[in-house]
Structure 1
Amino acid sequence: MPDDPKPTVRRRVLGTNLRRLREERGLHLEHAADQLSCNPSKVSRIESGRSPIRPLDLKALLDLYEIEDTATRDGWLSLARESRKQRWWRVLEDRLPQDFLDLIGLEEDASYCRGFEPGVVDGLFQTGSYAEAVIGGGSPGPLDSDAQTKLDVRLERQKALTREENPISTWVILGEAALRQQYGSVSTMRTQLGHLLELSHLPNVTLQVLPFSVGAYRGGPLPFKIYRFPAPSSMEVVLTESHVSHTYLEGPDDLAYYADVFDHLRATALGELESKALIDEIRQESTE
């Protein structure tokens, strides 16, 4: 099977967790390679996500790693099957940067995400008009083709919240600035704030607001998200954003730091009911 220079997120998750299983048992690449009767480089490519793994090879590795529970083995095999599928966004590889494609894959495959957006409404929660204003960056006139593609993809990503099978559970803390900074018209902002209130009633959405009154807070005004994948991996990935790219962090120290920052923010932010009240108050203040 040929290597994939742009492996899917799910394939990387599968490979990373296979490596974790191997290392937890004190085994080296050579042990796994002997089990599969292959070169260690093949195992390395599987663990990096560059090569898919056949179900027969996966079963052999699960035997080596002493994974005997039937349900757990079925979970690994299901993860492997899903990692081989081509997803809807893969047709956009020539039009979108790889780090953005990875973000789509995270939201499609993760079971839970939590994060902080200090200055703009989270992309999963944006209305079409608000998203168009954000992506347009204040430029007059219609979006160009690249920006329009980003808008279309952003709206498609939002289906992860309401899909029938395993909608992603989301806990987002918005800075008060995200509610007050006007993107688009006053009507656009009123509609956006109303949309936030509607989404906050979904059973898989938790929404809090960090008010201006709290002053300084841990982590600073930098957006981030922590994505968690379902069993059997239960792996987590931190996403940080800049003006030009996304960065993905998987190290234990990074995960521990951002988990601690999030816990501080959720303890400092308004409760859910108070957050909804503030959103509604700001919405009612908005008049043409």
Structure 2
Amino acid sequence: MSPADRQSYRRRKIGVALRQFREARGWTQDAAARRLDRSQASLSAYENGHRAIRPRDLEQILDRYGVRDVQQRQQLMDLAAQGRRDGWWHSFEERQDPTVVDFASLEADASRIRSLELHLVPGLLQTESYARVLLGSYDGVLDEPHDVESSLQFRLNRQRVLRGDDPPRVEWVIGEAALHLRVGGLEVMREQIGALREASQLPHVDLRVLPFTAGSHPGVDGPFSIIDVVPDELMQVVAVHSLSRSWYIDDPSNVGTYVRVFKKLQSLALSRSDSCERLDQIASEK
């Protein structure tokens, strides 16, 4: 399957909406295709998320379907425009898992990112040495061949989002365990904690440490990221990653649960200034 035919979150989101609009009018795909002056195959590809749609084509389809909700139209138009942008991640599409590449593209277009990490330093904050050791630990246990160097370069490229001209607002809650896990030894961890300390000073970054003393908390099920896909929180998606798969959650009620959990975790975490002091303390102990 070529990169142009691969599904992505944006394409799936647009496709589901188009199918719902068509079905609301009681049209079959074949009938809709005739009214839209398109082939049934192309309409099917849009609805299944296998083909990117040009904003002008999307606008025409929305007009024919009678979609008048301004906010709904703008959300879909934003997704269509984002999905057609060139980005550094496209050069990795043949070398990295498609879901990982898709996630990086969402990060790059996000206006706000909120993430929980309990046991590892977040990928956007990992030093090259830390990331290399961590990625190397998967050798021999994954079903697919694992190119450490390609994965490393991909991860380092993701970090561009923090240093761009218009970076998103990024908020992290990082478990204290991540700061004590000796990935690569003392020198690697000293460098990594120093990088966290430096990143915490960026004006668009809110980094907080969740201390061991916080006890039981609503984030024990594992890490997640909340991404504002379009500005002003008009569309949000939760990304959940595991060893074998990743998935997105965008039902508003479910997203709302994650938002409340993250807010609770921030209240249990150390303040920004106290988190910096904890980083300094841990660094001095290593």
TM range (shorter): 0.7 to 0.9
1:275 corresponds in structure 2 to 275
Ranges in structure 2 where 5+ consecutive residues have no aligned partner: 140-144
Q: Say whether residues 1:66 and 2:73 are aligned partners.
A: no
Alignment of structure 1 residues 128-277 onto 2, 5 Å: 128-137=128-137, 146-164=147-165, 166-231=166-231, 234-277=234-277
| CA distance in structure 2 between the aligned counterparts of 1:231 and 1:19, rounded to whole angstroms | 25
Please say if residues 75 and 231 of structure 1, whose CA atoms lie closer than 8 Å, have aligned partners that are also in contact: no
Normalization by structure 1: what TM-score? 0.81
Measured against aligned partners, the alpha-carbon deviations of 1:105-145 in whole angstroms (never above 9, x if no partner) come to: 22122221112100010000111111112112298xxxx97
CA contact (8 A) 1:206 1:272 kept: yes
In structure 2, relative to structure 1, the CA distance for the partners of 1:109 and 1:184 (3 Å cut) is same
Deviations 1:144-202 (Å, cap 9, x if unpaired)?
Answer: 970111111000000011111x3122111000001111111312111111111111111
- C-alpha change, 1:57 and 1:241, in structure 2 (3 Å) is closer
AA aligned opposite 1:226: I
Q: 1:213 to 1:117 in 2, by over 3 A?
A: same
C-alpha offsets along residues 42-78 of structure 1, whole Å, 9 cap, x if unaligned? 5453244322324443332454322569xx9788656
Checking the alignment, whether the CA contact within 8 Å between 1:124 and 1:157 is kept in structure 2 is: yes
DSSP 3-state at the match of 1:172: strand
CA distance in 2, matches of 1:42, 1:130: 45
Distance in 1 between residues matched to 2:45 and 2:265, nearest whole Å: 39
Structure 1: how far apart are the matches of 2:232 and 2:116? 27
Q: Secondary structure at the match of 1:95?
A: coil
Q: Structure 2 counterpart of 1:265, which letter?
A: L
Residue aligned with 1:267, SS: helix
Q: Does 1:116 align with 2:86?
A: no
Q: Secondary structure at the match of 1:284?
A: helix
| Contact 1:8–1:105 (Cα < 8 Å) also in 2 | no
Conserved 8 A contact 1:14-1:233: no
Relative distance call for 1:273 and 1:232 in structure 2 (3 A) is closer
Give the number of equivalent residue pairs.
Answer: 276
Alpha-carbon distance change, 74 to 217 in structure 1, aligned in 2, over 3 angstroms: closer
Q: Residues 229 and 171 (structure 1 numbering): CA distance in 2 closer, same or farther, change over 3 Å? A: same
2 CA distance for matches of 1:29 and 1:111?
A: 36
Code of the aligned partner of 1:151: L
Ranges in structure 1 where 5+ consecutive residues have no aligned partner: none
Pair 1:89 & 2:89 matched: yes
For 2:142, the equivalent position in structure 1 comes to none
- What SS is found at the alignment partner of 2:53? coil
CA contact (8 A) 2:210 2:268 kept: yes
Deviations 1:241-271 (A, max 9, x none): 2223322222334323322221221111111
Instruction: Verify the 8 A CA contact 2:3 2:93 in the aligned structure 1.
Output: no
Give TM-score, length-normalised by structure 2. Answer: 0.81
CA distance in 2, matches of 1:10, 1:151: 25
CA offsets 1:204-228 (integer angstroms, 9 cap, x no match): 2111111000111113151111111
1:35 and 1:61 in contact (8 A); partners too: no
CA contact (8 A) 1:10 1:109 kept: no
**Contact 1:111 / 1:229 at 8 angstroms: preserved in 2?**
yes
Matches of 1:272 and 1:206, distance apart in 2: 7
Conserved 8 A contact 1:121-1:174: yes
Secondary structure of the corresponding residue to residue 226 of structure 2: strand
Moved more, 52-61 or 9-18: 9-18
2:226·2:236 contact (CA, 8 Å) conserved in 1?
Answer: yes
Per-residue Cα deviation, 1:70-114 (whole angstroms, up to 9, x for no partner): xx9788656534422443323333322222222222212222111
Give percent identity, aligned residues only: 34
Q: CA RMSD in A?
A: 3.3
Structure 1 residue 8: deviation in Å?
Answer: 4.0
Residue type of the alignment partner of 1:171: E
